[in-house]
Amino acid sequence: MGYGGAKGIDIIFIALFLVTISLYPLLRLIILVPLFALIAIYSPTGYLYGPPSLSIIAALLQTNKKECIEFLYSVPYICYALPALVVSSWLLLKKNIFKFHYRSYIKYFLTVLLVIFIGVLSFTGRLEKIKIINFFISINNSTATYLQQIKKLSEGNVNAQWQIAETDNHYANIVVIIGESMRADYMSVFGYPLPTTPFLSQANGTFYRNYISTAPNTFLSLPRALSLSDGENFDISHNFVNLAKQAGFETFWISNQGMLGDFDLPTSKLAMYSDHKIFLKKGDYASSDIDDVALLPHLQAILAAKDTGKRVIILHLMGSHPQFKKRLHGKKPYFHYANEDISDYISTYRNTDSLIGSAYTMLKQTGQPFKLFYFSDHGLSKRTIGNAVYLRHSSATKQNYHVPLLMLSDDARERKYVDKAVSAFNFISFFAGETGIKVIAPKLQSWDDNANEVQVFNGKTMVPYHSLAEDPAVIPE
């Protein structure tokens, strides 16, 4: 299958299985030929990625011709030696087993031995652990999971109607960039002493100093920010994507997060409402390691299209997701603390800042009026594990919810900071107001409404933001 981990019992089983089946011409045709063909085809993938997983099955079933060619070119040449080994094994069987006529008692003996072997392995619970058996179990389970999650994506996507009085918008292109795991207090644009966001620190626009996320992680946060929510529950059928569509915008969702996977599905369901969907990852968010800059060519292609219609384009980043070193994609950290985890974390901010700058430049080059929004889904909190300090998800600290929100545009002539605390639960109201969409129903809470104290959903219940613990940023000495 191409991947390692085979033990002695695996070798014994496959040897006995191949020899026994080889003795029966009909079984050779209906079992061994397809088996060898499948292993030969899969072995390069198995060598690189291991057993068939949800991500691999999703990639197989969704890959187009262009992506297939790109994958074939990306496979190291040495991996193509594996199919050659499989073919060589077939030729050895053909030469040493297929041509000979064995006595009946040898056939029966090997057949009975194989049946007993399978029975013992099954009785002891070890059959599923045999590599060749596990290979097909993985295919079956991963395919079933894929089909189940694809079904979930399409279930319940009712296009609930918004009552819109009018749309007064002169912006041809509206880009919404959704960041990942970025705290506001580590951004130099909000006062951090290191230059973590050099582009944003000089850009004109509106910057919200106290934007509070709805929840402590992506799974809980984005559905509550981007669709109607009372806090603990949300109505995904009323979301900002279908609001934009019903207001006359063509909508695009381009994601570097996962399409499938239990933690990705709620956000993916939002993406399904858009007119055009592009997922760089066919499986879950960790299925492959792709730089966020891979989103930019798609943005450029959309902006270059000869289209007089108005567009809303959503870019969903991996941003500063944990395993920060991987987010740097081989680049050296821009900053160096004694704590390597924090050094890598704030270095990822430079990548996101650069991407926002590139998107801004592309929008300006169109010569058309535009708005660009950026916010992060949630922040992170310091945690001590062993003797080391790391940044991880937490529902207990303010800074895990205190995230950036900013808005740039072609007609912004100054830098404006807004100090009041505002909640991501009211993002749809904010988006509608800034894009000229006047919503009659369902009634939206005003973005400027400060009557109620900002609350957050901690995964169990709503709690006052002010009641959470402080987790101040690490300041360089």
Summarize pLDDT for 106-146 with one digit per residue, the tens.
888 988 999 999 999 988 888 888 888 888 888 888 788 76
Q: Which residues pair with 374 in a beta bridge?
A: 177, 406
Name the one residue in this structure whose structure tokens are 């059928």.
Answer: 237
Residues 345 and 336: their CA atoms lie apart, in Å, by 10
| Residue 3 confidence (pLDDT) above 80 | no
| Angle of helix 131-154 versus helix 8-22 axis, rounded to 10 | 90
**H or E element: which one contains 376?**
strand 370-376
pLDDT, greater one: 220 or 408: 408
Name the pairing type of β-strands 437-441 and 163-167. antiparallel
pLDDT in tens, 339-387: 888 999 999 999 999 999 999 999 999 999 999 999 999 999 998 877 7
Residue by residue, DSSP assigns 178-240 as EE-S--GGG-GGGT-SS-S-TTTTT--EEEEEEEE-SSSSHHHHHHHHHEEE-SS-EEEEEEH
For 228-258, how does the pLDDT look when each residue is reduced to its tens digit (9 = 90+)?
A: 999 988 888 899 999 999 999 999 999 998 7
Most confident option among 242-251, 279-288, 385-394: 242-251
Position 301 pLDDT exceeds 60: yes
Q: Is 392 helix (H, G, I), strand (E, B) or coil?
A: strand
Residue 439 is inside which H or E element, if any?
strand 437-441
Instruction: Give the C-alpha distances (Å, rounded to integers) separating 339 from 326, 333, 391.
Output: 16, 12, 11
pLDDT digits (tens, 9 = 90+) for 30-82: 998 888 888 888 887 777 667 786 656 755 665 555 546 656 665 667 777 88
Distances (CA, A) of 112 to 9, 34, 74, 232: 18, 24, 45, 60
pLDDT of the residue at 86: 85
Are 401 and 379 a contacting pair, CB within 8 Å?
A: yes
- pLDDT for residue 264: 62
**What pLDDT was estimated at residue 156?**
55
Whether pLDDT at 457 is above 70: yes
Q: Can you tell me the distance from the alpha carbon of 434 to that of 423, in angstroms, rounded to the nearest whole number?
A: 16
CA atoms within 13 A on the CB side of 78: 3
Which pLDDT belongs to residue 284?
53
Mean pLDDT of the chain: 86
Beta bridge partners of 456: 463
Cβ atoms of 157 and 223 closer than 8 Å = no
For range 187-212, the mean pLDDT: 97
Give just the sign of the alpha carbon dihedral 302, 306, 307, 308: positive
pLDDT for the residue 190: 98
The helix or strand, by DSSP H or E, that contains position 149, with its residue range, turns out to be helix 131-154
Tokens of 393: 């998800």
Contact 253, 271 (CB under 8 A): yes
All structural domains of the chain: 8-154 (no CATH), 163-467 (3.40.720.10)
- One-character DSSP codes across 342-360: HHHHHHHHHHHHHHHHHHH
pLDDT at 440: 93
Residue range 259-265: average pLDDT?
61
**Tell me, what's the pLDDT at 465?**
96
Residues 98 and 92: their CA atoms lie apart, in Å, by 9
Decide if pLDDT at 152 tops 70: no
pLDDT at 446 exceeding the cut of 60: yes
- The pLDDT of residue 439: 94
> Where are the alpha helices (H) located in 227-336, listed in sequence order?
240-246, 265-271, 296-304, 324-327
What pLDDT score does 144 carry?
81
